[in-house]
Amino acid sequence: MKVSRSDFLKYMGKGMLALTAVRTLDLLSESTKEPSKKVQSTHTSSPKTKKDISSKIPGSNFKPLKPNTQDDLILAAGFTYDLIAVYGDKINSRGDTFGYAADFNCFFQFPNDPNSALLWTNHEYLNELEYYVTGYDYNQKGPNNRTPEQIEKYLYSLGGSVIGLRKSKGAWVLDPESKYGRRINGRSEFQLKGPVAGSETISGKTKVYGTFANCSGGQTLWNTVLSCEENYEMVVEDCKLEDSKEYGWIIEIDPFDPSSTPVKHTALGRFSHENAALTVSPSGKLVVYMGDDSKDQCVYKFISEKNYDPKKGKLNSELLEQGTLYVGNFEKCVWVPLDLEKNPNLKNAKDKEGNPKFKTQADVLVSCRDAAKAAGGTPMDRPEDLEVHPLDKSVFVSFTNNDSHGNFYGQIVRIKEENSDAESVRFEFEVFVAGGGKSGFSSPDNLAFDSSGNLWMVSDMTTRLLGKSIFKKFGNNGMFFIPTSGEDAGKAFQFASAPIGAELTGPWFTPDEEFLFLSVQHPGEDTRDYDVPTSRWPRKTKGDIPRPGVVAIRRA
């Protein structure tokens, strides 16, 4: 780049501005853990106007928060949030309402209208807070005696929401009458796609009903959303559903077509799906990285058979129907195919009676955990979110924790594929940062990269242990900013603190990086007396219940 004298002065001016800001913060800082000003210099985005510098969130120098136990969503100084939608808010003219336990968020801008957008939000589970939705006391012992009405409320509150957003006075707000406003829930109809659809393994079904336990997800390159069914077993049991094989899949929804039938993609396997991180390999294949969030479960990747073709638009969805699923063997550092024809260990696997364990590829995909173990997949410490680094394509994985062998604090691991090629069979890995007192966080969960390659992570310390014993020093769950290059690489700086009993989930930047959408999930989850919840976030008015919801964070 050729820099003229006047340009040079302009750049100098900006550098000085950033430096002054850092110095001011340094003076105010009580902590030596201030993100270094060098973080600023890792920016690779297009030339910035003065407005860009003041409005964008990433790479920001902020005074890190200390562990906090207040019942509030607290952000680093200089940032504010707008409440976008909370449980019970009306989302369309038909009167549909925003579901419970907001998790993954995915933002879709309308191409021709910068003031109009759609947001997909997952609604994961009810658990301890079911009383506030159905009136049923989760903590009561004895048989499951939910009434049919309670079961319907339960299933309606889970799944996901498409909500319409419009920009008003510089902030995003919910449009309660949006024609795109839509609920996908525990009763919605789905098309089953991929090798399991119509197979004997699932009694010939090509249509199935309901989605729930929707944890995290991913955005496709063709502007649809993938949402992941995680801990479905409990919902199947609570709601007396017949066939658990209909759940534990990754679903796809087109938020721009309210009449479209959502899809369950069976080629991606059936397990406790946390999220789906998509990338395109150098040869053009679509690669999807996935984790099975349970103790001693595995990390997976799927490679499409055909190539991604931008010209095909939404027809690229077919890429998720045909391809090879692999499981990670971290001892040999290889991806092992979970394909009955390619892997003799699957062909030779026997059940207790000595019969073949997997007769068809549909069997492999439905019983993916068994197949992964038979193929030599490495049991890991709760693989939750995986994300692909936007600059070097390494893959970051949150291993939340695994108390069954003393890993209480978890770690973030960085996987480097051979030749930086997502199709590679071989990989290397290293612990990028471990949870604990030194790093200042515990139990990493969802991850999001900004365009400069800084990692934004939310923590998921088990609610019943929050504020107790080993987790006490961390305070409430929070959000952390972790540079991946420069002198602060691998250092965690706390950016946000969650209300009591809550977990922050679903961080998602708008493409202009001026807004960070974030969910506040299960505030008050440690409540035992439902009349006296431990949190009344966000309204805090006497008598209101705690309401999980979504906020949009921006610079104040």
Question: Interface residues with Ca ion (CB under 5 A)?
Answer: 215, 445, 460
Residue 105 CB, nearest approach to Ca ion (Å)? 12
Binding partner of residue 71 among Ca ion, ligand FEO, none, CB cut-off 5 to 8 Å per kind: none
The nearer residue to ligand FEO, 117 or 276, going by C-beta atoms, is 276
Give the Cα separation of 280 and 360 in Å (integer): 28
390: left (phi over 0), alpha (psi -120 to 50) or beta: alpha
Residue 499 CB, nearest approach to Ca ion (Å)? 17
Q: Where are the alpha helices (DSSP H) in 243-388?
A: 344-347, 361-366, 368-374
Residue 249 CB, nearest approach to ligand FEO (Å)? 15
Q: Kindly tell me the number of DSSP H helices and DSSP E strands found in the chain.
A: 9, 31
Residue 121 CB, nearest approach to ligand FEO (Å)? 14
- Asked if 537 contacts 81 with a C-beta cutoff of 8 angstroms, the reply is no
Binding partner of residue 128 among Ca ion, ligand FEO, none, CB cut-off 5 to 8 Å per kind: none
Q: How, if at all, do strands 516-521 and 383-388 pair?
A: unpaired
Distances 251 to 228, 302, 432 between C-alpha atoms, Å: 6, 15, 30
Which of 433, 497, 432 has the alpha carbon at shortest distance from 461?
Answer: 497
Residue with smallest beta-carbon separation from Ca ion: 460
- Asked if 218 contacts 286 with a C-beta cutoff of 8 angstroms, the reply is no
Residue 511 CB, nearest approach to Ca ion (Å)? 23
Where b means 16+ CB within 10 Å and e means fewer, 399-429 reads bbbbeeeebbbbbbbbbbbeeebbbbeebeb
Neighbouring residues of 400: CB distance < 8 A, sequence distance ≥ 6: 293, 381, 382, 384, 410, 443, 444, 445, 460
Residue 526 CB, nearest approach to ligand FEO (Å)? 17
Residue 507 CB, nearest approach to Ca ion (Å)? 11
- Asked if 293 contacts 383 with a C-beta cutoff of 8 angstroms, the reply is yes
Give the Cα separation of 442 and 410 in Å (integer): 6
Q: What DSSP character marks residue 320? A: G
The nearer residue to Ca ion, 252 or 445, going by C-beta atoms, is 445
The nearer residue to ligand FEO, 89 or 124, going by C-beta atoms, is 124
The angle at the Cα of 407, spanning 403 to 409, to the nearest 5 degrees, equals 105
Binding partner of residue 230 among Ca ion, ligand FEO, none, CB cut-off 5 to 8 Å per kind: ligand FEO
The nearer residue to ligand FEO, 124 or 514, going by C-beta atoms, is 124
The nearer residue to ligand FEO, 195 or 291, going by C-beta atoms, is 291
Q: Please give the full DSSP string across 156-200, using - where no structure is assigned.
A: HHSEEEEEEEEEETTEEEEETT-TT-EEE-TT-EEEEESTTTT-G
- The pair of structure tokens assigned to 286 is 């679509």
Please confirm whether the linkage preceding 538 is cis (ω < 30° from 0).
yes
Distances 270 to 195, 248, 265, 290, 369 between C-alpha atoms, Å: 12, 5, 9, 11, 8
Neighbouring residues of 147: CB distance < 8 A, sequence distance ≥ 6: none
The nearer residue to ligand FEO, 62 or 100, going by C-beta atoms, is 100
The nearer residue to ligand FEO, 274 or 525, going by C-beta atoms, is 274
The nearer residue to ligand FEO, 21 or 236, going by C-beta atoms, is 236
Residue 459 CB, nearest approach to ligand FEO (Å)? 12
Residue 467 CB, nearest approach to Ca ion (Å)? 18
Binding partner of residue 124 among ligand FEO, Ca ion, none, CB cut-off 5 to 8 Å per kind: ligand FEO
The nearer residue to Ca ion, 228 or 327, going by C-beta atoms, is 228
Give the Cα separation of 281 and 32 in Å (integer): 40
Please give the sequence-ordered ranges of beta strands (E in DSSP) within 24-101, or none if there are none.
74-75, 79-86
Residues that bind ligand FEO (CB under 6 A): 124, 215, 230, 274, 293, 384
Binding partner of residue 34 among Ca ion, ligand FEO, none, CB cut-off 5 to 8 Å per kind: none
Give the Cα separation of 501 and 466 in Å (integer): 8
Residue with the two structure tokens 């009383």: 131
Residue 303 CB, nearest approach to ligand FEO (Å)? 24
The nearer residue to ligand FEO, 76 or 455, going by C-beta atoms, is 455
The nearer residue to ligand FEO, 71 or 503, going by C-beta atoms, is 503
Residue 431 CB, nearest approach to ligand FEO (Å)? 20
The nearer residue to Ca ion, 304 or 477, going by C-beta atoms, is 477
Give the Cα separation of 483 and 452 in Å (integer): 9
Residue 228 CB, nearest approach to ligand FEO (Å)? 8
The nearer residue to ligand FEO, 215 or 492, going by C-beta atoms, is 215
Residue 274 CB, nearest approach to ligand FEO (Å)? 5
Binding partner of residue 368 among Ca ion, ligand FEO, none, CB cut-off 5 to 8 Å per kind: none
Distances 396 to 298, 337, 342 between C-alpha atoms, Å: 14, 21, 28
Binding partner of residue 363 among Ca ion, ligand FEO, none, CB cut-off 5 to 8 Å per kind: none
